[in-house]
Structure 1
Amino acid sequence: MSSWNPQRYVSVNVKHEAVSRCPAKLLVVCLVMLYTSRTEAESGHLWNQTEVIQNGTSSGHLWNQTEVIQNGTSSETEAVRNMTLSEYLWNKTEAIRNKTLSTYFVQGIANGSLNPTAFGGFMIQDAVYCYKIKNSIDISADRAPDGELKEYLRNESAAFDSIYKYLSEKWRIKNPAGINLTESCQSYADYERQIASTEDTIYMLVAMTPCYKLWPWLGKQLQSVNHGVYNEWFNDNFNPYFDGYKMLDAFVDEAETNMSINRSKALEVFTRCMQGEYEFFNSVQHTDLTNASPPVNGNVTSGSVASTLEHGRLSFSFTILVLSVITQISSLYCTDKIPMLPI
């Protein structure tokens, strides 16, 4: 606030006699006094604010905020700092896995209501994904230095190869190159191949972790639900007791201890691949078989058989309609009766 100025008061008082005889002058003097008082008040307020900021005495709030940021003593900062890298990555992608949990495919598997055609389409995609991730792991293993990490990748490559062979036989896939992948599946597989080809080997393990860790987590959220016809598949794939991801977590945490991995880059890779999992699941939408698309370029897609049958039914109905019209026209213009042939 501005301080009281006695000299200004005396100065104004001396002039009072002169200006009191002229209302206009009096009005001007009053306006000047009002403006001066307001300006000094604002200046004093601004000065007090500046003084507070400089001295850090604004109830200690601004100073304490700066101290918290500099010293990292807030509870959130402290909690993040105490997390291992694997815990940090998992914690930062919570929103994505919650979205995955609510997708039509996951919920349909959980309660047994998933459209069988949609399930079949997903499984064919997943089989080809296993083929592609196996090849990406091979690339990463070839680039890895000799040791435990290379050996681990070789074993995982063999595991994915077995899964692909099992699925390809079950779903009659002769050549994975002949399967048209959805954009989400293709993009996900391409990104992992890029990581395998261009980044340090440890980042390939980061890219693999979302798949290993998300599926059993989904199983834990839904294990009390009756899965109907998908019960066997649920137990095999969403097995809540699967802990294969722990080896990946151990490699990643050890890399951070050895300062051979960047936390920000690891989060970027982990988030992209968790998003890839979500988009892959979310690519399966509830569809009506009667509205399914016909085969494209000779390749059979989900629902193409049903679509072909529907197309045939419509063609037959159209043929009957045309024959009916021709019969009506003939009855109008033909007077000669055609004898019926014996059957």
Structure 2
Amino acid sequence: MDIATLLTFFLLCISSATAHNDKEQAAQPDGYLSTRTCEGTQDTSSSDTCSIEKSHGDNIYLSLWEKSLDQAYQTLNLDFIQHMEAGDLPVDRYVNFTIQDIYYLVKVTDMLKNMSTSVKKPEDLRQFFQGRYSSYKRFQDHLLSIFYRKGVSDIKPTPAMRKYVSDYETIMRTKEPIYFAVSLLPCSRLWVWLANKVDMAPSNAYYAWKKDNMGGRPEKHYETLLNKYLTLNNTEAYHIFRTQMQNEHDFFATS
């Protein structure tokens, strides 16, 4: 890829923010990922107190996150995130990151299509997967059109991305559908948190990433559902959540 093409691609990447965030925005016309909330109010501070306090109740949605904060901080401290925050991340690294994210989006959308038709009961879980698929599909189509792509068959996934997608596929094939919902949550939860943590001025070339990813409310789609079907002592849910948090970490670490 020559320099002119690379710069053009970079500008497209920045203008479209990120695949992870926008698929949530497409999912909720009223607002995919506004700031992290506590008691229904926005929390843009650096404190994680509200989540930690609430997770002492019977809220596995919050407990999953609390017990994985170590992984969140490890991701925040990665070279890729730190250089984004400083505004000196090389363009080619962000472009490659975005290409891999497009691959992720298309593969996860395909799996959500499968879940949206295969899950018949219970009704709220069926509606969850239909809603997630509709959201991801709209954004996938939008993103592919922006980059003039028909698919991702020519994108070679990195080892980290290949493992991430493979773990999704294994969960889809071998676990109850509620666990696939759990597997989707780390992406949504982590990106909001990272965007609120990084200190970027509007003049930073990557400020659009921060701005767009700050705006999300994953609890709108996940909290009631997970708390209804999972208990705090569900070790499988914690294992899957931490596995996917590690996959997110490794995606950033190898970008």
Cα distance 1:119–1:171, how it changes in 2: closer, same or farther (>3 A)? farther
Give the CA deviation at 1:188. Answer: 0.5
Q: What value does the CA root-mean-square deviation take over the aligned residues?
A: 2.3
Are residues 1:244 and 2:218 paired? yes
Are residues 1:193 and 2:169 paired? yes
Residue-by-residue CA offset, 1:176-231 (whole Å, 9 max, x unaligned): 11110001111101111221222111101100010111111111112554561222
Give the CA deviation at 1:93. Answer: 0.8
Aligned length: 202
> Equivalences for 1:68-147 in 2 at 5 Å?
82-146=57-121, 147=123
Give the CA deviation at 1:138. Answer: 2.0
Are residues 1:254 and 2:225 paired? no
> Equivalences for 1:160-309 in 2 at 5 Å?
160-223=136-199, 225-226=201-202, 228-236=204-212, 239-256=213-230, 263-284=234-255
CA distance in 1, matches of 2:216, 2:199: 13
Contact 1:206 1:270 in 2 (8 A): yes
Give the CA deviation at 1:156. Answer: 1.2
CA distance in 2, matches of 1:165, 1:87: 32
Cα distance 1:80–1:219, how it changes in 2: closer, same or farther (>3 A)? closer
Give the CA deviation at 1:84. Answer: 1.6
What secondary structure sits across from 2:206 in the alignment?
helix
TM, length-normalised to structure 2: 0.72
Contact 1:141 1:201 in 2 (8 A): no
What secondary structure sits across from 1:82 in the alignment?
coil
CA distance in 1, matches of 2:187, 2:57: 25
What residue identity is the alignment partner of 2:241? F
What residue identity is the alignment partner of 1:263? N
CA distance in 1, matches of 2:219, 2:81: 20
Unaligned stretches of 5+ in structure 2? 1-53
Higher helix share: 1
Cα distance 1:170–1:241, how it changes in 2: closer, same or farther (>3 A)? closer
Give the CA deviation at 1:172. Answer: 4.0
What residue identity is the alignment partner of 1:252? L
Give the CA deviation at 1:90. Answer: 0.8
What residue identity is the alignment partner of 1:247? H
What secondary structure sits across from 1:228 in the alignment?
coil
Contact 1:143 1:201 in 2 (8 A): no
Larger radius of gyration: 1
Contact 2:119 2:125 in 1 (8 A): yes
CA distance in 1, matches of 2:252, 2:215: 21
Cα distance 1:109–1:156, how it changes in 2: closer, same or farther (>3 A)? same
Cα distance 1:272–1:215, how it changes in 2: closer, same or farther (>3 A)? same
Contact 1:109 1:227 in 2 (8 A): no
CA distance in 2, matches of 1:98, 1:225: 21
Cα distance 1:152–1:221, how it changes in 2: closer, same or farther (>3 A)? same
Contact 1:144 1:201 in 2 (8 A): yes
CA distance in 2, matches of 1:196, 1:223: 37
What secondary structure sits across from 1:229 in the alignment?
coil
> Equivalences for 1:16-95 in 2 at 5 Å?
82-95=57-70
What secondary structure sits across from 2:149 in the alignment?
coil
CA distance in 2, matches of 1:133, 1:199: 16
Give the CA deviation at 1:269. Answer: 0.5
Unaligned stretches of 5+ in structure 1? 1-78, 285-343
CA distance in 1, matches of 2:224, 2:55: 18
CA distance in 1, matches of 2:63, 2:69: 10
Report sequence identity in percent.
23
TM, length-normalised to structure 1: 0.54
Give the CA deviation at 1:107. Answer: 2.1
CA distance in 2, matches of 1:131, 1:262: 33
What secondary structure sits across from 1:176 in the alignment?
coil
CA distance in 1, matches of 2:79, 2:224: 33
Cα distance 1:104–1:163, how it changes in 2: closer, same or farther (>3 A)? farther
Cα distance 1:170–1:117, how it changes in 2: closer, same or farther (>3 A)? farther
